[in-house]
Each structure stands twice: as C-alpha cells, then as structure tokens.
C-alpha cells in the first residue's frame, strides 16, 4: 500500500513537472525575442573601417524589414500582455483628466476673435472665429474631425487667413513625414478651391492683395525646405521661384511681419541667419537682402513703423536688442536699445505701439520685462513660485496696453493671463482644467543643483506627491534632452500625475546642451563638448541617489529624439545606475546618419554635432555614438519606440540599435522595440490617441517597479 501511494505521488509529481515544462516551453516560445539577420557591411571613413551588421534594416521597402519590425511589435505585446489592463486603466486616467469639451482663450486679429475648441469624445480641434464680438455667431473655419475621417494619421498645420478675411490657407499631412499639401478654402461659401500645393512645410504667407501667397517647398528626399515660391490663386500657371537656398546647411521659411507690411524670407542654420523682405502690398516686388549671412552671426527681426527691431548675438553671447531704419538695414546701421548682459539671455521680444516686452532668462528662469517706449520706464512681471516657466503668448495687435502671456509650473496647470502694462494688473483668462480630484497643494516641487565633475552646478527640477519620504526606495523618473539649445521647462504635465499618484518622483535634469543657464550652457554641450550633456545627466542621477530621493534599483531615465541619444550614451557610460530606461524615437546611430547627406537634418546640423568627414569630429562622435558603443555588458531594462514614417530620426536607427543590443548584452533584462507603423516623429495625431503610447511607457515603468495597479 505504501509503495502504491509512493508511486502514485511520484507519478503525479512527474505529470505536474511535464505540464509545467510544457507551459514553460510554450511561454518561452511565445516570449522568444526576435533575432535580426546579420549581413556584414563595411563603412570606410577617414581611413577607419566600421562593420555594420544591421545596415540592411535601412531598406524601408524591403518586406524582410517590415516583417522584422512587426515581429518586434509582437514580442513587445507578448511581454507586456500582463499589463494590458493596467495600460487601459492608465489611458483612461490620463484621458479622464482632460476636459472633453474645451475652448482656448480667444484672441483678436483684424476684426475677428479667433479660438480653437474641442468637442466631447472627438480627437481633433475645431478652428473657429466670431466677427467683432464674442457674442456674434460662430463661424467654423476648419473642423478637423470631419477632415480626418478615414485617415490613420492626419495633421493640420499653419492655417492663415487672408487680409480681407474671406480665404484660408492650411497645410495637411496624412503620413507623418512632415510633407504638407496646402489647400485653400473660400470662407464665404465653404468651398475648397482647386488650387493645391504639394510637398510644402505647411504654412503660407498671404500678400495684402488677397490673391497671392508665398510658401516653402521641401526636397522630398532630404525634407529640407529649400525654395520659396509665389502662387497666384486660379492662375493655372507654374508658380514662380522667388528664392532658392543653395547652401544645404541652411533651412528657409517665409512669414509676414506683425505689422502686416512685409513678407519675410528667413534662411537659418545652427550658427547663422539671413533675411530678405518685400512689400506685402506689392507681391511682385523684388525681395531685398536685410543683411548678408556671416558665420556665427545670429539675428531675427520684426517690424514696427519706420524701424526693424533685431535680436542678435553680435558681440553678445547672450544676445541683445537693436533697431535700424527700414531703408538702412545693414548692420553698420544697427543701434543698440537693450544691451548685452552676462547674467540674462534675451530669448524673445514682442512689439506694441507704446511698449516693448522682452523675454529674458535669468538664473534659469524666465522673466518678462515691460518697457514703456515713450518714457523708457520699465518693470518686470512678478512670479511667485520657485521654479516655473512663463512665455509671451499670442499678441497679434499693436494698439493695445494688454500683454497676453502664459504661465506654468510643475504644480500649476498651464495658465493664460492678460496683463495690463499700465496698471500692472494680471487677469487669469483660463487655467488648464484637470478633471478629477487634482489639487495643486497635494504636490511639492523643488529646484536642486547637482555638481558635475568639473564643478558646474546642474539644475534639477522635480515634483512629487506630498508625504513621500526620502528613504532611497522611491521610484524616480529622470527626464533629459540637452541639445539644440532647447530648454526643457519646469512645466505642468497632467499625464505625469499617473506616476506621481503611485509614488513616483518626476525630475528634469537641465543639462548642458540646453540653454536654461544662458547661451554658454548650450555652447558647452555641443560639438567637441557634447559629452558634457551625458556626464551631466549621470551626475544628476548620482546626486539624486546620494540625497536618498531614489536608488539604482528604482531609478528610471527617459528621453526622446536627441534626448534618446542621451539615453543611449548614459547607459553605455554607466549602465549600472539605472533600473530601466525609455528611449523614444532615439537618435542613436550618430556617425552613420551624419555621414549620409540624403537623410533629413544631416548637413544642416554639422554645426550642432560636427562633420564626421573631418577626422577630429569623426573620432569624437564615434566615442559616444550609442550604436557604435554597444558592448557585452549588463544593460538596464529598455523600452525603445519609433515611427515607421519618422522624418527626423529614421526608424532604422532604433531598430538597428535594439538588434545590436540583443546580440551583445549579457543580461536577461527586458529589451523592447515598439514601432508605430502609421506615424512619424511626433507619434499619433489626435487629442487622445497619442496617450496609448504614454500608457505603454508608464505600464513598462510600473511593471519594473513592482506596481501592478
């Protein structure tokens, strides 16, 4: 009897083992990561040979490439299957905080109040106006919900109304490649005109004859805006080229001055600007050169009465403000009105009949300076919070004493104010409504400084829910960008609440390569100083760990585009610092991309990254390029995202990077690649759809934090 029972137990154990083995086999079969085929390709640059085994993934039309991307998507879905309910919950939370029926604050321009509104449950905006009074009947200019029907991707950009208020020009992109077709609509009849202009940047500048527009044509391969053309409605003849930018390191665009007197053609590169202008009343007049381009001379212009106002870095690293007569625009005639300051970066300005408003950045924070043109008296708008962002908003009219500006902080939702420049009264016109139980007082924001290896103090902005104890075991998401002089502002994000309410701390590292601490901050994070961007971020991470905000087991990092390059570089340098990272549309194959002049952005960005055809820059770039520096080490868990039609960072960069990581990394941590097969660099269009990917990203972070709900 004992033997029979023993045998029975053994048999049951064996059966259980077989069943579990089968389950494990099936699971391993489902969860097996894709392996990209290796096809060796040698790339010889400056006498140095690199071998790229995954170069073939650049073949967008190759069915094998599409199959590989789809297999990665299937793998991501399988690995994240246990979070599907959580993803749905996160998505509903994020969308649930957005006021469904909403409207922007109207602004007045040329006889009409213009505004944008959203309808309950609809993805896209409705652009509207009312004549002379907000009590007037609403006129719908564009209902993008109706226009987008039947499209997976639909984006309207750059709509402009003619001076007689009867016509509207607008750009449409249905692929995500940022190649827009410009259409024209007769606002009196609602009819779309037969005129249609393809392969543009999406925006048109109306001349004052209400029949002529100027627009920017893009190269369909490199996507560089390179020609300005003149189009006359209904003419049927070929559009006339009025300017062609032949230097492939420059981009161009066209716009009308606030005064509505001039059409401006702007040429710009990383280090230089050049402008041309003609009379908006006479669209057939020749464009005049404002001032010829000079290397390292940056300037931008606007017009008022008999003068042009100029913001420039001429003998001023942090920029200054100057003016010149309309009839004498060469820089020998420029006269200083706001001098250069070492402690203040002049970022923007706005002209009014009696006032000049200057947007300055001091110690990393925006200040709005109000100057009375008549008596030269001045003052600053008072902002009370420790860390915030403010900006000049939409101000199309000259003859007003009211400035419209925007304001936000990490605990204050985006707010629109009207500020009386005489009485100094601020009127809150609208604050972003966060639906639900959100209360700003439940959250705390801090501004910290981490010390870099060279002694530089790096600002960190962070926010968390009150009650969190600095015990070293808090999950913390550290975000960074650090390129092009772009500053990631300490502003409000309603979607981040889904992390904060689950115990996360959210922090932004204001690393060099941005411009938060002035122009030198940018200069010290580009070209042959680019590595400062990456070491600054790691120094911020270590500071947060040392100060017990978090620990290596709970520290997460995230960045997108050039910020994705940041993520790739930091984990090659110090992979042990992070539990997991998210790299969104990451620029990770730096050397190969910068060697290919057919790829969008390449030649125009030599002054940002360097020209790898020059050995010094090649060697330096090669020393930090994430794809080229993947090695056989333990990496943190990773989620990498991209879009098949991305025009800024081609999909194959993250695809190649993930393939190489799978080949070489020595850990068992999750590595996921998610490709949106319908979109480009900015992800999905629509008000709500884009949060599906946000929900995936947050679920990934929560899964690795052990938070299941």
| Residue 494 among the catalytic residues | no
| Residue 646 among the catalytic residues | yes
* d(C-alpha 128, C-alpha 116), whole Å: 6
β-pairing verdict for 476-479 and 505-509: parallel
> Minimal CA–CA distance to 371: which of 389, 386, 349, 388?
349
> Minimal CA–CA distance to 644: which of 599, 685, 681?
681
- Per DSSP (E only), the strands in 22-109 are 41-45, 48-52, 102-103, 107-109
> Minimal CA–CA distance to 232: which of 265, 193, 260?
193
* d(C-alpha 143, C-alpha 700), whole Å: 36
Q: What angle do CA 298, 300, 302 make, to 5 degrees?
A: 165
303, 681, 682, 705: the catalytic one is 681
* d(C-alpha 456, C-alpha 536), whole Å: 9
* C-alpha distance from residue 287 to each of 228, 269, 275, 329, 461 (Å): 11, 20, 9, 13, 46
* C-alpha distance from residue 108 to each of 129, 257, 416, 525 (Å): 9, 16, 15, 41
Classify residue 209 by its DSSP letter. T
- Residues whose CB falls within 8 Å of the CB of residue 236, separated by 6 or more in sequence, listed in order: none
| Residue 281 among the catalytic residues | no
Question: DSSP letters of 155-166?
Answer: EEEEEEE-TTSS
340, 461, 646, 682: the catalytic one is 646
- Residues whose CB falls within 8 Å of the CB of residue 393, separated by 6 or more in sequence, listed in order: 404, 405, 406, 416
Q: Are 357 and 392 in contact (CB under 8 A)?
A: yes
β-pairing verdict for 251-256 and 262-268: antiparallel
272, 561, 647, 682: the catalytic one is 561
Catalytic residues: 561, 646, 681
């Amino acid at each position: 009897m004992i033997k029979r029972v023993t045998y029975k137990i053994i048999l049951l154990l064996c059966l259980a083992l077989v069943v579990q083995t089968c389950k494990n086999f099936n699971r391993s079969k489902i969860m097996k990561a894709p392996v990209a085929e290796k096809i060796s390709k040698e790339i010889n640059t400056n006498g140095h040979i690199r071998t790229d085994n995954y170069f073939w993934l650049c073949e967008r039309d190759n069915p094998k490439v599409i199959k590989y991307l789809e297999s990665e998507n299937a793998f991501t879905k399988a690995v994240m299957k246990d979070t599907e309910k959580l993803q749905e919950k996160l998505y509903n939370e994020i969308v649930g905080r957005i006021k469904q029926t909403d409207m922007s604050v109207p602004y007045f321009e040329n006889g009409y109040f213009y505004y944008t509104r959203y309808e309950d449950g609809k993805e896209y905006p409705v652009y509207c106006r009312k004549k002379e009074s907000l009590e007037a009947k609403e006129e719908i200019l564009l209902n993008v919900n109706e226009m987008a029907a039947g499209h997976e991707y639909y984006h309207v950009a750059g709509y402009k109304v003619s001076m007689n208020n009867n016509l509207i020009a607008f750009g449409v992109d249905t692929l995500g490649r940022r190649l827009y077709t410009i259409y024209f609509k007769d606002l009196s009849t609602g009819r779309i005109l037969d005129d249609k202009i393809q392969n543009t940047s999406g925006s048109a500048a109306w001349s004052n004859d209400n029949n002529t527009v100027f627009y920017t044509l893009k190269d369909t391969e490199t996507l560089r805006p390179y020609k300005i053309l003149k189009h006359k409605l209904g003419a049927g003849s070929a559009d006339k080229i009025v300017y062609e930018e032949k230097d492939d390191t420059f981009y161009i665009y066209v716009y009308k001055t606030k005064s509505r007197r001039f059409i401006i053609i702007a040429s710009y590169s990383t280090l230089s600007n050049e402008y041309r202008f003609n009379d908006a009343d006479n669209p057939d007049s020749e464009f005049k050169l404002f001032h010829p381009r000079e290397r390292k001379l940056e300037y931008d212009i606007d017009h008022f009465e008999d003068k042009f106002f100029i913001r420039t870095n001429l003998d001023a690293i942090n920029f200054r403000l100057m003016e010149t007569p309309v009839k004498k625009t060469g820089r020998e005639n420029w006269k200083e009105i706001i001098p250069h300051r070492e402690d203040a970066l002049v970022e923007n300005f706005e002209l009014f009949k009696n006032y000049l408003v200057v947007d300055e950045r001091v110690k990393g924070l925006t200040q709005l300076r109000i100057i009375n043109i008549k008596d030269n008296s001045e003052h600053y708008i008072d902002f009370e919070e420790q860390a915030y962002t403010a900006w000049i908003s939409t101000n199309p009219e000259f003859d007003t004493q009211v400035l419209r500006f925007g304001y936000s902080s990490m605990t204050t939702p985006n707010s629109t104010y009207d500020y009386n420049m005489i009485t100094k009264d601020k009127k809150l016109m609208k604050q972003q409504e966060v639906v639900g139980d959100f209360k700003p007082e439940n959250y705390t924001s801090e501004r910290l400084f981490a010390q870099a290896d060279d002694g530089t103090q790096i600002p960190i902005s962070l926010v968390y829910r009150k009650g969190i104890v600095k015990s070293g075991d808090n999950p913390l998401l550290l975000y960074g960008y650090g390129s092009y002089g772009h500053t990631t502002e300490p502003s409000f994000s309603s979607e981040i609440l889904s992390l904060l309410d689950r115990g996360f701390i959210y922090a932004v590292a204001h690393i060099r390569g941005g411009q938060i601490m002035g122009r030198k901050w940018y200069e010290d994070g580009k070209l042959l100083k680019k590595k400062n961007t990456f070491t600054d971020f790691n120094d911020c991470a270590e500071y947060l760990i040392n100060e017990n905000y978090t620990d290596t087991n709970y520290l997460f990092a995230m960045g997108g585009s050039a910020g994705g390059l940041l993520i790739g570089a930091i984990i090659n340098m110090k992979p042990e610092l992070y539990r997991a990272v998210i790299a969104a549309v990451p620029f990770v194959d730096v050397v190969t991309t910068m060697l290919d002049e057919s790829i969008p952005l390449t030649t125009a960005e030599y002054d940002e990254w360097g020209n790898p055809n020059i050995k010094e820059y090649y060697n330096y770039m090669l020393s930090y390029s994430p794809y080229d520096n993947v090695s056989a080490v333990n990496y943190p868990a990773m989620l990498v995202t991209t879009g098949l039609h991305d025009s800024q960072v081609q999909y194959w960069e993250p695809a190649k990077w993930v393939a190489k990581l799978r080949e070489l990394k020595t850990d068992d941590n999750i590595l996921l690649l998610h490709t949106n097969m319908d979109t480009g660099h900015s992800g999905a269009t629509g008000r709500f759809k884009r949060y599906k990917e946000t929900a995936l990203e947050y679920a990934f972070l929560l899964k690795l934090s052990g938070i299941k709900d």
